[in-house]
Each structure stands twice: as structure tokens, then as C-alpha cells.
Structure 1
Amino acid sequence: MAWVKFTDDFYDNLKMDHVGPLGVALWAVGMGYCNRNLTDGVIHRSKALRLLDFEGLVYEGESPDATADITITALVDAGLWHADGHNCDECVQPGRGRYVVHNYLEYQPSRRDVLARREAEAARKAAARQKAAATKAASKKSAGSTASVQEVSDECPSGTPDGIREVSDDCPALPVPAPVVTTSSASADAERALIDDEFDDWWELYPLKKDKVRARKSYKTARKKTSADTIMQALQAQLPELQSRPVEKRPYATTWLNGERWDDEVLAATAATGSPAARPATQAQCDLREPHAPHRWSWGVDTCHCQGIHA
């Protein structure tokens, strides 16, 4: 799980007084969204309008959509977010139809840094897995050698009534084997810890954080069927399509793992053509476009009813 960095006095900033409670909430949720999705502080307007559920939290006389728009405008006016064309020298231009969180990269890690860290961590864990496998193989080999020595000694006479073995031509002296330190238990513990670490990295990336305990069990079962690299690489390939779905339509991590969806075909994004006949059929596809109006959704069937032309 990743963390967003806030100073413990952020609420004393006068900009927070300007945006009010809804603005503070949207700003905080926006920080989490950018950090989880590695956007470097950039938020598409269509996503910004849906980060909070404004139903029941509307300003007097305003609809939920209007309240969301008023809140976004307040964040921009206060300088907590910037729209495209802003004049802040410290922040990048987000592009048409997008916003950027002011000074995001001053306190949060960049996409490049996060991916580099994950790559280094994956290499470290791969080396650890190889070392654990080598240790396990060496342990089995040592156990086999000890069994062979015991079999040879059983073929010799038992010796005197006191159990002392007599050395003779028929039963020569046997070398005393060096004590063998078994590492099977340590190897098993190391392997369990490694799988837990693998799951934590995978869970950090998965776009629906629900039912973690069952998901961990499902991950351990999945690891008996395929490698950690296969599971992680499949999720990374499927992530854009999963993130484009509404939260309520994303599969639980347990469902994804139990269904062996690392073998699923990766869905390709639909390219925009600018033609009304080719406009996107679902909200997920529509979110890939620039914002447009009028804009409304039928959530029950996830159908786009946009009346505008997609850019």
C-alpha cells in the first residue's frame, strides 16, 4: 500500500479556508487518486467530477453536478489545483480538459521514481527466490547423503551384546558423518515471507482495495499454479482497462485470482474517430476522451448517452 504525504498542519493553510469542507475533501481524494494511479498530479476533468459522491452534499439550490463543478472551480481559484494555461512557474501544464495539483511532485514521488523502485524491488525479490530455491535443493541433497550412510551401516553386524560395533574385514570402520544442519524449516519460512512480500506489491497495484485477507489466501493458492512475475505482469497489462471501469464494476482481487485471470486476453483501448457513429458505448471508454457536454450516464447499464462529438 502506498502513502500520500500531508503535513499535519495542512488545514491551517488559508487556501483551505477558501475552498471549504467539500474543497478540502476533494483535494485530499485527488491526492490519493494521483498517487495510486501515478499521474504526477494530473487529473482529467471527467475523473475530477466523479472523485466524490456529491449526492446529499449539494450546495443549496444546486445539483450534485453543479456542486462538483463549483468545488473544482474553488480549488482552481485558490491555487490548490491549476487548469491548463495557468501561470504557475512551479507546475507543468496539464493539457486541455485536465488539472494539476499544485506542487504535487515537491512532496510526492514521481511516476518514474515509483516504477524504478518497483523494478529494483522485483529484481531483489527474484534474486531472493533463486537463493531460497538453491538453499532448499542443498538441504535435500544433504538429507539424501545422510540416508545413504545409514543404509551402509545397517548392513554390518550389530557388534557386541552391548551394541558396540566391531571392526573387521567384513565390516570395515565407517567414517563419522559431520553433523547436518537442516534448513528446510528456515527455507519454508523464507518462502512464506517472500510470497507475502509479493502479494503486498501486487495488492498495492490492484485497483480495488477490498477483502485483503481473502485476497492474500487466494494469492498463495495462485502461486502454486504460476509464478509471481506472471501474476504481476498480467495485472500491469490489464490495469488500464480495469481502472477505466467504475469502481462498482471492478472485480474483487479474490475473484481475479480465483478466476486465473492472469491468462485473460488484454482488452485494447478503442481509438476515437470524431464521428458520432463511433462515439464510445461505455463510460469507461468515454473517460478516455476529452470532456464534453452535455454529459450524462445511465449507471445501471454503464451506457454513455453523450450528445456531443468526442474529440
Structure 2
Amino acid sequence: DKFQSTTIQGASNADEMWTELAALVDMTFAQPETARNFCRRLYHFFVSRNITSEIESDIIVPLADTMIANNYEIKPVLEQLLQSQHFFDMDDSDNSDEIIGGLIKSPVELALQSISFFDLPIPDPMTETQAFFQFYNRGVAQRMFAQANMPLFYPFDVAGYPAYYQAPDFNRQWFNASTIVARYKLPAMLLSGKLTIGGSANQPLGVQLNIADWIKSSGVVSDATDPYVLVQDLLQYMLPESPDSDRFNYFYITVFLDNLPPADWTYEWQNYLDTGDATEVTLALERLINSIMYSAEYQLF
């Protein structure tokens, strides 16, 4: 019996109607499947769209038990999930089960994480009004969000944005032939300081990433004179997992060094520090940043 033979007494007046409704709610929330359904949705949002039979029994069911024990309070459930070995993909030796890097970033996450990571100098809304409007309205809201299928504060219906709830694809719905263009224009916009997409393409974005200065002053790269360390540090911060040796060498040798000796980079970086001329180092750094941000891995977290 799905409802454990529960009987709800029918109401005969307005006061009893509320008692009847309360009994219906109590009956629904007394079912373990109600809590499990909530926990599956939390898992889809925070971890992965894939729920195997093992995850159902080892993760979802204990989370649901916690939810029921705490009268459906969400906080203890989230603490249990987000502090678990499973959330950090440390509960087994399988590095291909899509826990780390199992979710596609939404347009908001992709854009704002990039802006925050590179610590872009946001225009002051009081003293740089036009630049602030250009950046946040025409750049962020119209290009980075809306054209990537996430018009901010305007979901397509009351259910929200389909990529958060629509089975079976969930977050994969952030990608289609149209939205992928806006996602992959992001690095070009940040590095060039231009909109690069839409009817006002090549107009000023309002901000621009000075990549050489950022590498020198951000503290993200521990030793910028060493090209191996520079690439290693950036990949560690920008990708959800450290790449294997072949993938690392692609970024390091093919993209960044352009198949030149590592000593060439060390010379050019020291020349930049001595003279302030960032021309040569900027070319290599922009190649690397573009390549990382164009990678499939950068779209994930």
C-alpha cells in the first residue's frame, strides 16, 4: 500500500476542510519516496544528472532518512551531502564516474566565475556610468547570459530554466547549436575588451583583462618565469581536475610554448619585467587562456 492504509476523514464544513488538507499533507510527507524525490533533485543540482542504483541506495536513501528525521529541514541534508566523501569523489578509485566535473556550468556560473577569477576591474557605477552600463547590461546580461539561453530574471516559465529540472538531460540543455557561440565568445570578450558578438559587435565591453599584469600580480602563478609551473598553476585553478600528461603537454608545449624551448619564455618574461613591454608574453598568455577557456573541461565543475 503506497500510503500505508492511511484513511483521511472527509470534511463536512470549512473548519474541517483545513484538517483534511493537513492530513493529506502529512500523509504525503510521511512517505519515504517523497523525501527521496527531494534528495534526487538536490543531487541533480549539486552533483550530477546521473543517479545509478548504487548512488540511490548509498547516497539518496541516507539523505532521505536525514531529511525525514529533521522534519524536512534542508540544511542538515545539504551538510551531509556537501561534506561527504562522495561529493569530493573520494569514496572510490573510479575517476570516470563524473562526480568532479560532472555538471555543466550555467551561463551565470561560467561568466561570473571567470570575471571573479581574473579579478576584472569593474567600472564604478557612479563615476564610470557608461562603461558600467556597457559591461553589465550589454556585455554580461545581453551577451553572456541571454544569448547563452539564460536571460537573467526571465526564465521561460514558472518552472524555471529547463537545464535545472528537465529530465533526462538537465544541465546538458545549456548547450545547443545557438548557445554554444555565446559561451565560447567569453574569453575573446574579456581579453579584447570588446563585445565580439551580437548587433553591436566590436563595441567596447567596458572592461579588459590585462593578462600579463594579472599573471604578474594576482598571486595565482607561483613562478611565472618557469613556463611549466605557470601552465600547471593555471590548469590547477581553471579546470575541475588536473589533466593527464598528454592533455597537459598539449596546453604546455603545443599551445603555450608553440613548440619553442622553455628558455624562450623565461627570457621573454624577464624582458617584460625589465622593460614593461608585454607584447611577446601577451601573445603566449592569450593563446593559453583562450585554449583553456575554449576547452570542454572549462565548461564543467
Normalising TM by the smaller chain, what interval?
A: under 0.3
Larger RCO, structures 1/2 (Cα 8 Å, 6+ apart): 2
Greater fraction strand: 1
What TM-score do the two structures reach when normalised by structure 2?
0.23
Question: What is the TM-score when the length of structure 1 is the normalising length?
Answer: 0.23
* Structure ranking higher in helix proportion: 2
